[in-house]
Structure 1
């Protein structure tokens, strides 16, 4: 028989079951329901459901069939009008489990009932740890969902290294796995990679701006809180499943898991570990899965990569934080905190949102070889188990994760000290660079402004001496107070200014000189006094001498230096900044 596609919805009076049965004979169908049991048969389709609430046969029930669409719709009256049925979207959990002909499964069902009754007890997330016992070696080497599997990797030695990091997991107990994992993470941690992502974090900040689907869904839930139940998986649910997700849910086989209290705690904690890795993967790929997606999820989850079993929420967070800083492309602590906050958000949305994430992980692993092994070990069982999980436990888990404080110091890589040292080195590098820039500026020729001042002073001296070729003639002419006339009007104004400064009467209106800038005017005024002008020229001569004495292909002699000074003072200042044939400034 074929299990048809089906969906459930509700209103205050009816539970509505929609069944897709194309090519079925409408004349040959049968519907039976009583209490929480529902059966439908239309050759070749057969469907049996365990309803989340009780229905009654009171004459209000009705059924219809759409021939064009091949959809059969059944309205079942609720036993209690207005009652809300939870979990209508958990299609796998609605499928009635197969009954066994032996007596043993009956005992298992009783145990499962006891477990469900214990769900309402206060949930203690701190698991009591037991000492290592060599007699329990085989039991401690188990792995998978609820540690229910063992011996799997003995048959998969060739594919082992591509799926998990641990060698021979069937022979290594849980405590030894953790020691090996921590040692491997210490070896893998790269301080240079971490600091590079820390100080050059533009790409990380871009990734953090991405908004996954659960962000808007969470905001919608918070806005509509108290109005109506939202986590029913039905038509009114905030989180809904796509058609391929519904199809996958119908393919799963409904089963009951017998887990003791200790194992149940480990299952919840490993769920957090897997969701953390998934959130990181969604952010770094911005929701676009690629060939690296399976690697990201399994590598960052110690549950999947090292078959780890955790005992506390803090252990889960520390493990995830360490692995983010050791293995992926982006190793930034902000990604750790972002994944942590989003995992809390998903847990608070309820099991429908968690199941949607698990289905996405299942699809990623299903399409990758050999990551599909992880579906058999963990994800498939999680997809089935979460549909029967209690919302109160998930809310308590979300609260515990939210209150956990994860700091860089707890990761064990001395990140605070590493960052402090890096900042110190960075500051020292800036100081050295600044000091080097100051030294280079002192060794370079005068700046544009300084060159302008010296040009004006040099030009003034040259004009005053009538273009003489020696420094002695310049000095003697200034000492005698005799200024040779020039043909340029500008020079006449400058000469008049010098005469006036020596005590001659001038009209104050003639002080408005046609000078290009205030620096030139200040230079002229400062050099008008003969003593000061001589001192200024002396300084310029020393500057020119220092420049001409710089080492070149052929070093000039002392006499050559003197002639160079004389020649420099007698030429236009523009020649000092003209580039030579090598493209360099010729001093």
Structure 2
């Protein structure tokens, strides 16, 4: 079946679904409405949408097909007239499966076989009786201790390490993926920091290697040179980012709508802790995107995929946040945790790309805050563009497969506008300190200023004067 192009709009009492299905017979159309679930089948097209509020079929409902344009327009009546249906422009959210009526709060266990003591053989029965006897003796000791007010020693049981049934370690969105880097040694993946061990590195080892590689790539002279000669960097910082400065009403383009239709139809059941980690990872990806947008002035280059992949720890080292334990609840993102997350992105922006400037990193952080202020619509637009950049690269498309594609679906269907907007306000109000990255930036900047204040010494001036007096070469 083919998922057709479609768009949705609404009036005070109805929802209108406009479906592009050319060269079909209108008499074959099958339409079904089940509370919030709407489906239409007209061979070879099938569309199923999940709306936020119930719909009904009544005398006001209708379907009209225009063979000249190829559009089928279905009018559905709202069960509650006047109720606003939000997010009708988020097509991927409408295509997402309907969530279960009762949320699953704990893993479900299937009992494969049950047996009682009557079916045990003699040895097993003897072992069971011995265990019962030892338990009854232990209970008597506990009761006797309670009568005499004895203080029995108590210790918390040690937590068991996670069970590993394979030498491979999973990675990517919700740790759903593996196998993408099996033959990495035969691929020109310049951003991969784990080498041939990408499939077997434990999370702690990934982080250790990432930090080590950042320290090795850190170049004091490069940073000082960019600090001293920052004319072009100041131009990049002053450039007005159209994504954050445009006052036009937000509306997806036809290209973006088609990109959302091509997203996979998946349902995710992340835990509260995993949702917490997804929001933090989203921040690091948006920072890398904001850096590329600002340094290319929103005109991606052949190097854009490398820049984005290099600056994102979840891509280059398969090391997503959190980078520090949360001091608050799983859904509460503290300022300290946000600072640690951005410090990781700052480190990479000061170690790998062409322009290495603290002021530029600060401008990218403000860009991230203002993108988040646009809610899931703006964030989805950024992720779709980033996805296209990665997928057009022969090597780095893999990071779209293991991270960005699923993150697009999750952002549209599961992220919360209130959380995103709250993050934007917190990030814009943050005061990042240069000591957070672990390098002596302030000392290097001070040395650069001193060198600029002194100017060229007399010996250098004399040598320049002598060179000017020499005859030009033939």
Q: Taking structure 1 as the reference length, what is the TM-score of the superposition?
A: 0.63
Residues 32, 40 of structure 1: 8 Å contact kept: yes
Determine whether 1:313 maps to 2:338.
yes
Aligned: 1:413 with 2:435: no
Tell me the residue number matched to 2:6.
6
Per-residue CA deviations over 1:437-457 (Å, capped at 9, x if unaligned) read 9xxxxxxxxxxxxxxxxxxxx
Secondary structure of the corresponding residue to residue 171 of structure 1 = coil
Q: Is the 8 A contact 1:162 1:370 kept in 2?
A: no
Deviation at 1:436, TM superposition (A): 7.5
CA distance in 2, matches of 1:212, 1:427: 34
Deviation at 1:419, TM superposition (A): 1.1
SS in structure 2 at match of 1:33: strand
- Tell me the residue number matched to 1:424: 450
Report 1:215-364 matches (<5 A): 215-217=244-246, 219=247, 238-311=249-322, 312-364=337-389
Comparing both chains, which one has the higher relative contact order based on Cα–Cα distances under 8 Å and sequence gaps of 6 or more? Answer: 2
Match of 2:178 in 1: 150
CA distance in 2, matches of 1:58, 1:110: 25
Q: CA deviation at 1:114?
A: 5.4
For structure 1, list consecutive stretches of 5 or more residues without a partner in the other structure.
99-107, 116-129, 221-237, 438-581
Please tell me whether the aligned partners of residues 54 and 79 of structure 1 are also in contact (alpha carbons under 8 angstroms): yes
Q: Secondary structure at the match of 1:46?
A: strand
Quote how far apart the aligned CAs of 1:109 are.
4.6
Q: What is the alpha-carbon distance in structure 2 between the residues aligned to residue 271 and residue 133 of structure 1? A: 28
Instruction: Please tell me the root mean square deviation across aligned C-alpha atoms, in Å.
Output: 2.9
Per-residue deviation at 1:405? 2.5
Secondary structure of the residue that 2:7 maps to in structure 1?
Answer: strand
Aligned to 2:53, the other structure's residue is in SS state strand
Partner of 1:382: 407
Which residue number corresponds to residue 510 of structure 1? Answer: none
Query: Cα deviations across residues 420-448 of structure 1 (Å, max 9, x unaligned)?
Result: 12222332335x459989xxxxxxxxxxx
Q: Give the whole-Å Cα distance in 1 for the aligned partners of 2:352 and 2:251.
A: 34
Pair 1:192 & 2:218 matched: no
Rounded to whole Å, the distance in 2 between the matches of 1:112 and 1:195 is 54
Q: Is the 8 A contact 1:18 1:71 kept in 2?
A: yes
Q: How does 1:499-514 map to 2 (within 5 A)?
A: none
Q: Distance in 2 between matches of 1:198 and 1:174?
A: 35
What are the within-5 Å matches in structure 2 for residues 9-48 of structure 1? Answer: 9-48=9-48
SS in 2 for 1:31: strand
How far 1:113 moved relative to its partner? Answer: 6.0
Give SS of 2:347's match.
helix
> Is the CA contact (8 Å cut-off) linking 2:48 and 2:95 kept in structure 1?
yes
Contact kept, 8 Å, 2:313 with 2:319, in 1: the verdict is yes
Report whether the alignment pairs 1:373 with 2:435: no
Does the CA-based 8 Å contact 1:112-1:257 persist in structure 2? no
* 1:142/1:319 CA distance change after superposition, 3 Å: same
Distance 1:330 1:11, change over 3 A: same
**8 A contact 2:284–2:342 mirrored in 1:** yes
1:141 correspondence with 2:169: yes
Seen in structure 2, the aligned counterparts of structure 1 residues 111 and 299 have a Cα distance that, compared at 3 Å, is farther
CA distance in 1, matches of 2:162, 2:434: 36
In structure 2, distance between residues paired with 1:358 and 1:283: 16
CA contact (8 A) 1:34 1:57 kept: no
Distance 1:259 1:140, change over 3 A: farther
Distance 1:131 1:274, change over 3 A: farther
1:111 to 1:34, Cα distance in 2 relative to 1, 3 A: closer
CA positional deviation for 1:34: 3.3
Q: Which residue of 2 aligns with 1:159?
A: 187
8 Å CA contact retained: 1:194, 1:325: yes
**3-state SS, counterpart of residue 9 of structure 2:** strand
How far is 1:160 from its partner?
6.9
The 1-side partners of 2:103 and 2:166 are apart by 25
Cα distance 1:134–1:70, how it changes in 2: closer, same or farther (>3 A)? Answer: closer
Q: Deviations over 1:60-97 (max 9, x none)?
A: 11222222211111121211122111221221221253
Show CA shifts across 1:145-200 (max 9, x none): 12222343225442273452222122221122112111111111111111111111
Out of 84-93 and 287-296, give the one that drifted further. 84-93
Note if contact 2:227-2:448 (Cα within 8 Å) is conserved in structure 1.
no
Contact residue 285 and residue 312 of structure 2 kept, 8 A: yes
Rounded Cα–Cα distance in structure 1 between residues aligned with 2:210 and 2:160: 18
Partner Cα separation in structure 1 for residue 459 and residue 187 of structure 2: 57
Aligned pairs for 1:388-537 within 5 A? 388=413, 389-429=415-455, 432-433=457-458
Return 5+ residue gaps in structure 2 as ranges.
107-157, 323-336, 463-469
d(CA) in 2 for partners of 1:251, 1:334: 38
Q: Contact conserved, 2:96 with 2:267, CA < 8 A, in 1?
A: no
Query: Paired residue for 2:73?
Result: 73
Q: Following the alignment from structure 2 to structure 1, what is the Cα–Cα distance between the partners of residues 304 and 38? A: 40
CA contact (8 A) 1:408 1:415 kept: yes
Contact 1:6–1:19 (8 Å) recurs in 2: yes
Residue in structure 2 matched with residue 443 of structure 1 by the alignment: none
